[in-house]
Amino acid sequence: MKQVFDYIDGHWQEAVEDLMQLLRQPSISAQGVGIEETAKLVAQMMAQYGVSSQVLPSKGYPVVYGELSGDSPTTILFYNHYDVQPPEPLELWSSPPFEPTFFEGKLRARGVADNKGNIMARLFAVKAYKQVQGRLPVSVKFLIEGEEEIGSLNLPAFVAENQKLLAADGCIWEGGGVNWNGQPLIILGLKGIAYVELEARGAQCDVHSSMATIVPNPAWRLVWALASLKDWDENILIQGFHDGIRSPTEQEIEAIKAIPWEEEELKRSLGLERFLKNVTGFDLKSRHLLAPTCNICGLSAGYTGEGSKTVLPCQAKAKLDFRLVPGQRP
Contact pattern from residue 261 through residue 290 relative to its own copies, giving x for each residue in contact according to CB under 8 A and a dash for the rest: ---------xxx--xx--x----x--xxx-
* Dihedral over Cα of 271, 114, 262, 95: its sign: negative
Instruction: Tell me: does residue 215 bind its own copies (CB under 8 A).
Output: yes
Contacts 24+ apart (CB under 8 A), 116-119: 116/19, 116/22, 116/23, 116/82, 116/84, 117/19, 118/80, 118/174, 118/175, 118/176, 119/22, 119/42, 119/80, 119/82, 119/144
Residue with Cβ nearer its own copies (65 or 82): 82
> Residue 270 in 3-state DSSP?
helix
- Smallest gap, in angstroms, from Cβ of residue 112 to its own copies? 14
Q: Which of 295, 326, 327, 330 binds its own copies (CB under 8 A)?
A: 295
Three-class DSSP category at 148: helix
CA pair distance 183, 284, nearest whole angstrom: 20
The residue range among 64-72, 170-178, 192-200, 251-259 that interacts with its own copies, by the rule CB under 8 A, is 192-200
| Overall size of the chain counted in residues | 330
Please tell me what DSSP assigns to residue 169: S
Applying CB under 8 A, the span of 57-65, 126-134, 193-201, 244-252 interacting with its own copies comes to 193-201
| Chain CA centroid to CA 37, Å | 20
Report the DSSP beta bridge partners of residue 78. Answer: 142, 172
By CB under 8 A, tell whether 247 contacts its own copies: no
Tell me which of 160, 178, 214, 258 binds its own copies, using CB under 8 A.
Answer: 214
- Least distance to its own copies from the beta carbon of 221, Å? 9
In the window 59-88, what residues touch its own copies (CB under 8 A)? 85-86, 88
d(CA 157, CA 175): 23
Q: Which of 216, 245, 252, 256 binds its own copies (CB under 8 A)?
A: 216
Counting contacts by CB under 8 A, is residue 30 touching its own copies? yes
What amino acid is encoded at 6 in this protein? D
Backbone angles phi, psi at 317, to 5 degrees: -130, 150
Q: Please identify which residue in 187, 238, 259, 297 interacts with its own copies, judged by CB under 8 A.
A: 297
Instruction: Provide CB contacts within 8 A for 171, sequence distance 6+.
Output: 76, 77, 78, 79
Beta carbon of residue 44, minimum distance to its own copies (angstroms, whole number): 27
Nearest Cα residue to 149 out of 59, 270, 21, 61 = 61
In whole angstroms, the minimum distance from the beta carbon of 47 to its own copies comes to 30
Cβ nearer to its own copies, comparing 52 with 310? 310
Min CB(137)–its own copies separation in Å: 34
Does 202 engage in binding with its own copies (CB under 8 A)? yes
Contact assessment for residue 142 and residue 64, using Cβ atoms and an 8 Å cutoff: yes
* Interface with its own copies (CB under 8 A), residue from 187, 193, 255, 259: 193
DSSP letter assigned to residue 116? I
Q: Work out whether 242 is an interface residue with its own copies (CB under 8 A).
A: no
User: Is position 232 an interface residue for its own copies (rule: CB under 8 A)?
Assistant: yes
* 311 binds its own copies, rule: CB under 8 A: yes
- Residues binding its own copies: what is the number (CB under 8 A)? 78
Under rule CB under 8 A, which residues in 148-177 are in contact with its own copies? 149-151
| Of 227, 237, 238, 255, the one binding its own copies by CB under 8 A | 227
Site for its own copies in 108-147 (CB under 8 A): none
